[in-house]
Amino acid sequence: MAVLICGGAGYIGSHAVRALREQGREVVVLDSLRTGHRQSLPADVPFVEGDMRDPAVLDAIFARHTVESVLHFAASSLVGESMQLPLQYFSNNVHGMQVLLEAMVRHGVERIVFSSSAAVYGEPDSVPITEEAPLRPGNPYGESKRIMESMMRWAAAAHGLRYVSLRYFNVGGAAADGSIGEDHRPESHLIPLILQVPLGRRPHITIFGDDYDTPDGTCIRDYVGVEDLIEAHTLALRHLEAGGQSDVFNLGSEQGFSVRQMIETARRVTGRPLPVVVGARRPGDPARLVASSRKAGDVLGWQPRQGVDEIIASAWRWHSRHPAGYKK
Ligand code: UDP
């Protein structure tokens, strides 16, 4: 019995592959390698390079492996890019989900754990954000995740699938041993961009606006370590395997950190100078996003352990050992 990991060669998916294998589970990975890295996976893992939107690719996997559950990480995930290329996002994310669910129904695969996002909420009325907050995504990326959640809900009602949708807040860090980590090209996320400064790959970090209505004027986010995040996927899988019902959970630490606090933490962790330039706001950035993760604690028993110091320290171990990321 195998778990199919769609997008398993990406940043978060590759950490899931490792964790599931450590638990002794059989996994099969599907990844198009458009943004993922084959080198992030163990050499001996069953791996299919292909596009999820091709039903023949999924049929071949389901015919060859006895798949009991799916972890679905495969999606385009850049907010700014989604504003430029909305139809590409709907194709890859929404159509990808349609083809995946159809294949699951065809082959009688009944469980799916899905990577959703805090982007489904848009600008919140208040923080911490609970799962009951209104869904008002402010960009095509968040909209695509909202639609993907709805598709699972309706498919579950009609076909007896069960799903867990995990709404990630800001994911950061790397495997504790620094052997796999984050490598986006181009990079757009705060933690890896900050760490490029002490690595000598950029002269300074630009703060996108310091005139927000927050204590130091910079945006506040809720950072969750990638290993803690993967732990939630394992718990979600067990929840479904134990007969648990379909559900939606926020995954965050319930603590907000400003951009300036993250830079200060990186100075402390790396022990290197970190010059800062204050730039313009990035369009579409909410001032504050902080999760209530109480439901994930109550229902799944999930408790994130890593604080921002540890998240940045693990990211630093990965980036300082692999300054240019994975070899192409
Ligand atoms: N940010 C920044 N400078 C950068 C990259 C990001 O000030 O070079 C800020 C961004 O405006 C946001 C926070 O850091 O407030 C986290 O951004 P990221 O892109 O990592 O994640 P997001 O919150 O957009 O999902």
Helices then strands, each counted (H, E), the chain: 11, 13
Q: What pLDDT was estimated at residue 9?
A: 98
Distance between CA atoms of residues 107 and 281, nearest Å: 47
Ligand 1: residue whose CA is nearest its atom 6: 190
- Reported as a pLDDT band with limits 50, 70 and 90, residue 123 is very high
Q: What pLDDT was estimated at residue 193?
A: 97
- 186 preceded by cis ω (within 30°)? yes
Q: What pLDDT was estimated at residue 284?
A: 81
Q: What pLDDT was estimated at residue 273?
A: 94
- 137 preceded by cis ω (within 30°)? no
Identity of the amino acid at 32: S
- Reported as a pLDDT band with limits 50, 70 and 90, residue 13 is very high
**In testing the pocket of ligand 1, which one of 115, 139, 190, 226 has its CB within 8 Å of the most ligand atoms?**
190
The answer, yes or no, to whether residue 35 has pLDDT greater than 80, is yes
Name which residue leads in pLDDT, 284 or 295: 295
Contact 24, 5 (CB under 8 A): no
Contact 256, 170 (CB under 8 A): no
Q: Which of 89, 141, 212, 223 is catalytic?
A: 141
326 is catalytic: no
* Ligand 1: centre distance to CA 261 (Å): 13
The answer, yes or no, to whether residue 120 has pLDDT greater than 90, is yes
- Dihedral Cα 49, 16, 233, 284, nearest 10 deg: -70
Mean per-residue pLDDT over the chain, rounded: 97
Output the CA torsion sign for 308, 311, 316, 317.
positive
Index of the ligand 1 atom closest to the CA of residue 172: 20
Helix-helix angle 96-107:140-159, to 10 degrees: 20
* Ligand 1: centre distance to CA 170 (Å): 9
**In testing the pocket of ligand 1, which one of 208, 260, 274, 308 has its CB within 8 Å of the most ligand atoms?**
208
Q: Which residues pair with 279 in a beta bridge?
A: 208
Name which residue leads in pLDDT, 284 or 270: 270
CB atoms within 10 A of CB 246: 17
Ligand 1: residue whose CA is nearest its atom 4: 190
Q: What pLDDT was estimated at residue 283?
A: 84
Q: What pLDDT was estimated at residue 207?
A: 98
**In testing the pocket of ligand 1, which one of 282, 289, 290 has its CB within 8 Å of the most ligand atoms?**
282
- Reported as a pLDDT band with limits 50, 70 and 90, residue 6 is very high
The answer, yes or no, to whether residue 88 has pLDDT greater than 90, is yes
What mean pLDDT comes out for the span 268-276?
Answer: 97
List Cα–Cα distances, 210 to 18, 98, 109, 178, 282, in angstroms. Answer: 39, 41, 48, 32, 11
CA neighbor of 117 nearest in space, from 208, 251, 242 = 251
Radius of gyration of the chain, Cα coordinates, nearest whole angstrom: 19
What mean pLDDT comes out for the span 146-151?
Answer: 98
The answer, yes or no, to whether residue 18 has pLDDT greater than 90, is yes
pLDDT per position as a tens digit, 153-165: 999 999 999 999 9
Contact 159, 105 (CB under 8 A): yes
Q: What pLDDT was estimated at residue 85?
A: 96
What mean pLDDT comes out for the span 72-90?
Answer: 95
What mean pLDDT comes out for the span 52-65?
Answer: 98
Q: What pLDDT was estimated at residue 118?
A: 97
Distance between CA atoms of residues 53 and 30, nearest Å: 11
Q: What pLDDT was estimated at residue 127?
A: 92
What mean pLDDT comes out for the span 20-35?
Answer: 98
Index of the ligand 1 atom closest to the CA of residue 209: 7
Q: What pLDDT was estimated at residue 152?
A: 98
Ligand 1: residue whose CA is nearest its atom 21: 189
Distance between CA atoms of residues 159 and 101, nearest Å: 10
CB-defined site of ligand 1, < 6 Å: 79, 170, 188-190, 193, 205-208, 219, 221, 259, 282, 285
Q: What pLDDT was estimated at residue 327?
A: 84
Ligand 1: residue whose CA is nearest its atom 5: 190
What mean pLDDT comes out for the span 316-327?
Answer: 94
The answer, yes or no, to whether residue 151 has pLDDT greater than 90, is yes
What mean pLDDT comes out for the span 288-292?
Answer: 97
Helix-helix angle 259-270:308-321, to 10 degrees: 60
The answer, yes or no, to whether residue 319 has pLDDT greater than 90, is yes
CA neighbor of 117 nearest in space, from 135, 98, 101, 94 = 135
Q: How far is CA 314 from the centre of its chain?
A: 17
Residues recorded for the chain? 328
Distance between CA atoms of residues 213 and 210, nearest Å: 9
Distance between CA atoms of residues 212 and 218, nearest Å: 6
* Ligand 1: centre distance to CA 189 (Å): 6
